[in-house]
Structure 1
Amino acid sequence: MHVAMEHSGPMFFVGLRFLTAGVISAIVFHRSLAGFRRIELIAGAAIGVALCAGYGLQTIGLQTVSSTESAFITAFYVPLVPLLQWAVFRTAPKPLVLVGVALAFVGLLLLAGPGALQIGLGPGQIATLVSTAAIAAEIILIGFFAAKVDARRVTIVQLLVCGLLSFATMPLLGERVPAFSWIWLAAAVGLGAATCLIQLTMNWAQRTVSPTRATIIYAGEPVWGGAFGRLAGDRLAPTALIGAALIVAGILVSELKPRGRGEREPLPPE
């Protein structure tokens, strides 16, 4: 995304990426198109708006802030999810889940590195900070609708809504279609294919995983980034390795389910 911003405007790139993902998902899951229900259109539209706001603002921020600084600011969605869920749905996270959130959040800050701590309050930083609220809302909305809808149909709607809405905001931001470049085209198509798989997996997985636990698991993304970077020859600083370990620890702690004395393991649903 950071490289693509050197050749494309933010909303055009987000629009092309998600419209590509929506078209791919519609082709792959074309047999499920006939069974659309009203709730799936509502869920897909709501998640699509949150996607557009989150990725759009984050991409706008990447025009003026480094990818490391962006990763640091974006990490604030981790504590935001349980707080928003608590405020909106009055669902208080369990103590061990809160411990997992704290470990994952500290781990993300260590992964970002000391250079990310030098943050001002410029337009790019503010846009990235606001994007964390939209990202948190996306995760909560997916968790709210996941068990009530078909993941394939909701994925198609949310991707298409995000793509079309991103294109629609271009005139409002004074953004024009960029000159053709194979760089933004390849990045948008490649990320679009990945986005199709990512959003489908999120919609399916959060049927059984709470938004707060899902957030902690999603915090493992930079850990995988570091692992693949290591294969490519990158080296992580000692503090980054500690951060990665804290994220993994947060995921494990959040999944612990302590039982009281004499309490039996619940039976799986029929």
Structure 2
Amino acid sequence: MPSRLRWMRLRPQELALIAITAVWGCTFLVVHWAMEYSGPWFFVGIRFLVAGLISAVIFRNVLRGIRWSDIGAGATIGLMIHLGYGLQTVGLQTIDSSTSAFITAMYVPLVPLLQWAVFRKRPHTMAFVGAGLAFVGLLLIAGPDALTLTLGQGEVATLLSTLPIAGEIILISVFAGKVDLGRITIIQLLVAGLLSLLTMPVVGEGVPAFSWVWVVAAIGLGAASCLIQLTMNWAQKSVSPTRATVIYAGEPVWAGVVGRIAGERLPATALIGGALVVLGILASELRIVRKRDAARTDPDAANADPSQ
């Protein structure tokens, strides 16, 4: 049956996700600097404890009514945050950013498949198209060197991080609307921070020497993490995991822009890759609508000449 493309305008929730993706991308250089003065698990732990304390102050009035469902949901998402951010940070100690970006990009095509498995609902065709375009764009941003993987310790850690990153996005959508926004934000951030600190003795990481670099970075990124997780929890009540993932794929683009401002020169392939990520976001906002379905919602379509 003939079909046509219908444009779906960006809603406030999607615009909010684009905004926090920009914030997310801007944190790359800060993390890079902080790793020169701190171990990965300590820094991730302090970062999310700060984020959790900030959110606890903001949502202190809702803590009295906390339920076991809030604790369970928040702890599960917090575990995913702990593993995703922690493993990715571990990887960045031994591999360059282009290789890390390539491996981390694996979560982009992974989320639609996980969404299909979890929700038993196949994402629409253009969502797959958008995820595919974003993934190709991320490959171009990563550059040709990222394709020559040796699977050392850093590559393996980063590769493993893609699973909890994808899991976090799926779980946020699973629990969205079922638990209190403030409570789940507090719990997931505090759990992520505590688990990261508890990981330190397991991997043999010690407390770093005091430095204003990691202190300021942890406080600043803690505030950013609070904003990011709060927005994700709110927006993904109505934004599907697949569409959210395509939007999140813009993170390396924003990171590249910040890097360019900081003096890094982007190759032409990276610029093309950034354009493909943006195109992927736009493509995911399209729908292939059959004329019969369009007639149900569009009176003009019902009276249109079928020969046109």
Q: Which TM-score band applies after superposition, normalised by the shorter structure? A: over 0.9
Stretches (4+) displaced over 3 A: 227-235
Would the aligned equivalents of 2:70 and 2:180 in 1 still touch at CA under 8 Å? yes
Between stretches 232-241 and 148-157, larger displacement belongs to 232-241
Q: Which amino acid aligns with 1:245?
A: A
Give the structure 2 partner of residue 19 of structure 1.
49
Match of 2:225 among 195, 209, 212: 195
SS of the residue 2:184 aligns to:
helix
2:297 pairs with 1:264: yes
Count of matched residue positions in the alignment of Structure 1 and Structure 2: 265
Structure 2: distance between partners of 1:252 and 1:64: 35
Deviations 1:68-91 (A, max 9, x none): 211111010101111222233322
Would the aligned equivalents of 1:57 and 1:128 in 2 still touch at CA under 8 Å? yes
Structure 2: distance between partners of 1:234 and 1:32: 45
2:137 pairs with 1:107: yes
Match of 1:77 among 104, 107, 122: 107
Match of 1:135 among 159, 162, 165: 165
Give the structure 2 partner of residue 65 of structure 1.
95
Aligned-residue identity in percent: 65
Structure 2: distance between partners of 1:233 and 1:13: 26
Q: Which amino acid aligns with 1:151?
A: L
2:253 pairs with 1:223: yes
2:49 pairs with 1:29: no
Between stretches 175-184 and 126-135, larger displacement belongs to 175-184
Q: Which amino acid aligns with 1:42?
A: G
Q: Which amino acid aligns with 2:198?
A: A
Deviations 1:208-254 (A, max 9, x none): 00111100000011222233444445442211111111111111111
Q: TM-score, normalised by structure 1?
A: 0.93
2:185 pairs with 1:155: yes
SS of the residue 2:122 aligns to:
coil
Structure 2: distance between partners of 1:231 and 1:127: 29
* Alpha-carbon offset, residue 7 of structure 1: 1.4
CA RMSD of aligned residues (A): 1.4
Look at both structures and tell me which one has the larger radius of gyration over its CA atoms.
2
Q: TM-score, normalised by structure 2?
A: 0.82
Describe how 1:201-240 pairs up with structure 2 within 5 A.
201-240=231-270
Give the structure 2 partner of residue 176 of structure 1.
206
Match of 2:276 among 224, 228, 246: 246
* Alpha-carbon offset, residue 260 of structure 1: 2.4
Match of 1:87 among 114, 117, 131: 117
Q: Which amino acid aligns with 1:189?
A: I
* Alpha-carbon offset, residue 202 of structure 1: 0.4
SS of the residue 2:290 aligns to:
coil
SS of the residue 1:3 aligns to:
helix
Would the aligned equivalents of 1:2 and 1:67 in 2 still touch at CA under 8 Å? no
Match of 1:41 among 66, 71, 81: 71
2:195 pairs with 1:165: yes
Q: Which amino acid aligns with 2:175?
A: F
* Alpha-carbon offset, residue 117 of structure 1: 2.1
SS of the residue 1:191 aligns to:
helix
SS of the residue 2:194 aligns to:
helix
Deviations 1:125-183 (A, max 9, x none): 00000000010000000011112122221111000000011111111111111111111
Would the aligned equivalents of 2:137 and 2:276 in 1 still touch at CA under 8 Å? yes
Structure 1: distance between partners of 2:155 and 2:33: 18
